[in-house]
Amino acid sequence: MNITFRQLRLLQALAEKGSVSAAAKAMHVTQPTASMQLKEITLSVGLPLYEVIGKKIYLTDIGKELASTAQSISRTWESFEQLVDATKGVKKGRLRVAVVSTAKYFMPKLIGSFCKRFPEIEVSLEILNRDGVLERLRSNQDDLYIMSMPPPEIELSDIIFMPNPIGVITATSDRLSKKELISLNDLKNHRFILREPGSGTRMAADQFFAKKKFKPNIRLELGSNEGIKEAVAGGLGIGIISLHALHGHLKEQGVSVVNVEGFPVKSAWHLVHLSAKQLSPVAQAFKQHMLHEIKVK
Q: What are the extents of the domains in the chain?
A: 1-90, 91-164+268-297, 166-266
Q: Report pLDDT digits (tens) over 240-276.
A: 999 999 987 888 889 999 999 999 999 999 999 999 8
pLDDT at 296 over 70: no
pLDDT at 90 over 60: no
Q: How far apart are CA 227 and CA 199, in angstroms?
A: 14
For residue 297, what pLDDT band results from cuts at 50, 70 and 90? low
For residue 41, what pLDDT band results from cuts at 50, 70 and 90? very high
Element (H, E) at 296: helix 281-296
Question: Topology of 166-266 in CATH?
Answer: D-Maltodextrin-Binding Protein; domain 2 (3.40.190)
- Residue 278: helix, strand or coil by DSSP? coil
Pairing of strands 251-252, 255-258: antiparallel
Amino acid at 140: N
Query: What phi, psi does 67 have (nearest 5°)?
Result: -65, -40
Q: How far apart are CA 235 and CA 169, in angstroms?
A: 11
At residue 88, the pLDDT reads 64
At residue 71, the pLDDT reads 85
> Domain 1-90: which CATH class?
mainly alpha
Q: Are 137 and 272 in contact (CB under 8 A)?
A: yes
Q: What pTM does this model have?
A: 0.73
Q: Report pLDDT digits (tens) over 44-82.
A: 999 999 888 877 888 999 999 999 898 888 878 877 776
Same fold, 1-90 and 91-164+268-297: no
Cis-peptide, bond into residue 264, ω within 30° of zero: yes
At residue 192, the pLDDT reads 97
> Domain 91-164+268-297: which CATH class?
alpha beta
